[in-house]
Amino acid sequence: MVFLFYFLSAIMIICALMVVFSKNPINNVIYLIVCFLAMAGHYILLNAQFLAVVHVIVYTGAIMVLFLFVIMLLNLNKAIILRKSTVTRVSAVITGGIFFLVLLAATRQTFEIHAKYPFASDFGLVSGIGKVLFNEFLLPFEISSILFISAMVGALMFGKKDV
């Protein structure tokens, strides 16, 4: 298990770095796909089968296909080198740094949260998630579904030429 963890983590980190450093858009997308697959492997190690498979279906199977689709359709074949002004670069570094701080703060808390919720064997399986979603978190769940519908309708409105 520990070996698998390090193996998947190594794949993820290398692929994530390649997403940033690779110049060819198609290669970027493919590295991101591999990164997502490794993340699904991490979910399985945590016994979250449902999350893992939904992650593969939604991110790897649908969203990344659309990414690849758009890049192929526009035929962005050549490597692109972006030239940005100094202000943009500095602000990007600051934003990234702040985001890193937030992540760090969240990671620090996991040690406290982890102790409160002991491991249960049905954790991460479909029935458990369903019961939690439709009892404890019913309202947020429904609200987020309304958000999705409004986003879909909005996308349709933008996509149509003559409304």
**Per-residue mark of binding to other proteins, 64-103 (x: CB under 8 A):** -xx-xx--xx-x----------------------------
Q: Can you list the alpha helix ranges (DSSP code H) found in 46-137?
A: 49-55, 64-74, 86-116, 126-135
8 binds other proteins (CB under 8 A): no
- Which stretch in 48-56, 81-89, 111-119, 140-148 sits in contact with other proteins by CB under 8 A? 48-56
Residue 154 CB neighbour total at 10 angstroms? 10
- Which stretch in 12-20, 45-53, 101-109, 144-152 sits in contact with other proteins by CB under 8 A? 45-53
How far is it, in rounded angstroms, from Cα 50 to Cα 66?
Answer: 23
| Side chain identity at residue 96, one-letter code | G
Does residue 95 contact residue 79 with C-beta atoms inside 8 Å? no
Question: Which residue from 19, 26, 45, 46 is in contact with other proteins, where contact means CB under 8 A?
Answer: 26
Please state the closest distance from residue 150 (CB atom) to other proteins, in A.
18
Does residue 59 contact residue 36 with C-beta atoms inside 8 Å? yes
How far is it, in rounded angstroms, from Cα 102 to Cα 26?
Answer: 31
Residues in contact with other proteins, counted by CB under 8 A, come to a total of 21
Contacting residues toward other proteins, per CB under 8 A: 26, 30, 33, 49-50, 53-54, 56-57, 60-62, 65-66, 68-69, 72-73, 75, 125-126
